[in-house]
Amino acid sequence: MGVMHFMNEYSEEDKLFLLNLARKSIEYFMEKRELLTIDAEKIKNKLKEKKAVFVTLEKHGLLRGCIGVLQAVEPLYLAVIKNAVAAAFYDTRFFPLSEGELKHIKIEISILTKPEKIDYKNVEELLKKIKVGDGIIIKLGKRSATFLPQVWEKLSSKEIFLSELCLKAGLSSDEWRKGKLEVYRYKVVCFKES
């Protein structure tokens, strides 16, 4: 499946459905402290395909939570429910979302393509192969981290991007210069509440 096909795979109706589902899931969890359940029969087959997905919450343009999965292990709609709740209540960088914040939150959903490994012999080659706009995953031993493509808007230099990603993984900021990291790239279909 080509990337362009992937980008056009979801209709406006699909995107709206998933954004509403994410918001409903957060509201439901806030009230009931349990995950929203919906009848899978009523879900379009397209939204039942297993996908890797991230849900990001912003408040007044600032990050307020972001949780996701890099592996496509669950149906898309279910991954949206779980990660919306996780981003709202279990992102350890933030306090759990309060009821008063709900109306100030904008939800963004990113559906990921399958990560593709970047083979490189040295740092120059790695920098050449990484494209601004790629989602990037790094791994070293048990440590790993990812930045969604949207992060390029804030970190436009490849060097700074990789350094910050190393710090996020709990590594030293220049770890990527040693040429030992496993690096993967992916694309996303990203859409947010208007």
- Would you kindly state where each structural domain of the chain is located, as residue ranges? 3-112, 116-187
pLDDT band at 92 (very low <50, low <70, confident <90, very high): very high
What homologous superfamily does CATH list for 116-187? Hypothetical protein ph0010; domain 2 (3.30.1490.150)
Residues 30-78 pLDDT 10s: 999 999 999 999 999 999 999 999 999 999 999 999 999 999 999 999 9
Identify the CATH number of the domain defined by range 3-112: 3.30.700.20
- Whether the full predicted model's pTM is greater than 0.85, yes or no, is yes
Which tokens belong to 32? 């009931």
Instruction: Name which of 25, 192, 27, 187 is nearest 108 in CA terms.
Output: 192
**Dihedral of CA 157/162/163/165: which sign?**
positive
Rounded CA separation 123/181 (Å): 10
The answer for residues whose C-beta is within 8 angstroms of residue 104's C-beta and 6 or more apart is 59, 60
At residue 1, the pLDDT reads 45
Quote the mean pLDDT of the chain.
Answer: 94
